[in-house]
Amino acid sequence: MLLEPGEVSRRSFLRVSAAAAAATQIFTEPMLARAAAPKAKPAPSAVHIDSNENPLGPSAAARAAAAAMVAEGGRYNDQLTEDFEKLLAQTEDVPASYVRAFPGSSNPLHFSVMAFSSPQKCYVTADPGYEAGMHAADAAGARVVKLPLTKEYAHDVKAMLDAAPDAGLFYVCTPNNPTGTLTSHSDIEQLVEKKPKDAIVLVDEAYLHFCDAPSAIDLVKADKDVIVLRTFSKLYGMAGLRCGFAVAKPELLERIEAQGGWNAMPVTAVAAAMASLKEPALVAQRKRINAEVREQTFHWLTKNGITFIPSQSNCFMLDTMRQAGDVIAAMAKQDVVIGRVWPIWPTWVRITVGTQPEMDRFQTALGKVMSGTVTACLSDPKPKRSRIVDGAIRPA
């Protein structure tokens, strides 16, 4: 029966079961950051170094391209997306059929997990690691296998293989979120060669542009069972515009797309991304800026005896030597919003690399917290966790 307009209200539409919502909900970095944030609302002038955003924003050329495209926003413009995918294929030296554009990399991550993991095929990841895929695996009814990082903070490929003979999908984020550390290309090759026959290796390269490590796209070119994800949210500063892509052989892309169907790309994001790709010096310039601020911050931490994990990305992990949730709250009292806690490391917190002025404020605030000048005691002494409530992440 067809319903008349207005018969189904927004309120009734939102009354879906928690299970159904969880199965379709795509979790993203800002959702995870928001779930772990202190309840108090930060001041408008607060420093936000909690969501691995790039404070530089889109480049000047990208902003101009997006602004010029606004007038065309009344059209879906499929041709623009096709042109974008062709440019990506040319940039990465792969056939156009090996590339699919998505609004960010969260969608293809979620769809990949849903496509290749199941109650019979487990999802394998690092711990600590990016959590979004684990939520998707839960929705798929798949067993989630979390393996600690090695002493060098890389994915422990041998342990991943040993622990999951029933694997459907191996997830490798390199540089890793949250540690900013690398898993070597040779380790990824070993994982691809020794994995179960029907398993897929998903390599998330959201942060690859911040370092000099090689991409795993060469494994895609060799027609291996590998999917590589990229995003324009990080180095390119387009987190709010939503643009990313997946690279894989066509039969894998078809299975990914079958999970979520096709949807039109935001035309302003595509225009900005294409302009960014055409700036030959942009990646090197932004990589240098991030590295300079990051290394200055590491120098200050070292000088003050504060333990951290050296990163090759735009985020790093810092050991607070206490329940990290207390430090997050104490920093928020000073209008410096930092990242979240991973349960396996309850005293560690993730920090995003901001601008130099932002990191100067971070250093001042952290100095006060570590010296005991500023404190905040949480009602629950345990580090914060998150849970799914009605299809959304909520603090546990």
Ramachandran angles phi, psi of 302, nearest 5°: -60, -45
Closest CA to 364 of 355, 354, 374, 349: 374
Other beta carbons less than 10 A from residue 151's beta carbon = 7
2.40.50.140, 3.40.630.10, 3.40.640.10, 3.40.50.1100: which CATH number matches 60-277?
3.40.640.10
* CA–CA separation, 120 and 113 (whole Å): 13
Contact 132, 114 (CB under 8 A): no
SS3 label, residue 226: strand
* CA–CA separation, 155 and 146 (whole Å): 10
In the chain, domain spans: 17-52+282-395, 60-277
Closest CA to 55 of 66, 45, 47, 67: 47
Ramachandran angles phi, psi of 165, nearest 5°: -65, -15
In this structure, which amino acid lies at residue 192?
A: V
CB-based contacts of 303-312 (< 8 A; 24+ apart in sequence): 304/367, 304/370, 306/366, 306/370, 309/153, 309/179, 309/180, 309/181, 310/181, 311/175, 311/179, 311/180, 311/181, 312/175, 312/180, 312/181, 312/182, 312/210, 312/211, 312/213
pLDDT in the model for residue 28: 73
One digit per residue, pLDDT tens: the chain, 396 residues? 333 434 333 333 333 333 333 455 777 776 677 677 776 778 889 999 999 999 999 999 999 999 999 999 999 999 999 999 999 999 999 999 999 999 999 999 999 999 999 999 999 999 999 999 999 999 999 999 999 999 999 999 999 999 999 999 999 999 999 999 999 999 999 999 999 999 999 999 999 999 999 999 999 999 999 999 999 999 999 999 999 999 999 999 999 999 986 778 999 999 999 999 999 999 999 999 999 999 999 999 999 999 999 999 999 999 999 999 999 999 999 999 999 999 999 999 999 999 999 999 999 999 999 999 998 754 344 444 433 333 333 333
Residue showing tokens 């997006």: 66
In this structure, which amino acid lies at residue 362?
A: F
Pairing of strands 122-127, 144-148: parallel
pLDDT in the model for residue 31: 67
* CA–CA separation, 47 and 135 (whole Å): 29
Say which CATH class 17-52+282-395 falls into. Answer: alpha beta
Contact 368, 362 (CB under 8 A): no
pLDDT in the model for residue 358: 98
Residue showing tokens 């009605």: 390
Residue 171, C-beta contacts closer than 8 angstroms, at least 6 positions apart: 113, 123, 124, 125, 126, 129, 130, 133, 202, 204
Residue 220: which region, alpha, beta or left (left: phi > 0; alpha: psi -120 to 50)? alpha
Question: In this structure, what token pair is assigned to residue 129?
Answer: 């690691």
* CA–CA separation, 10 and 139 (whole Å): 24
In this chain, the answer to whether the domains covering 17-52+282-395 and 60-277 adopt an identical fold is no
**Rounded to the nearest 5 degrees, what angle is found at the Cα of 356, between the Cα atoms of 354 and 357?**
100
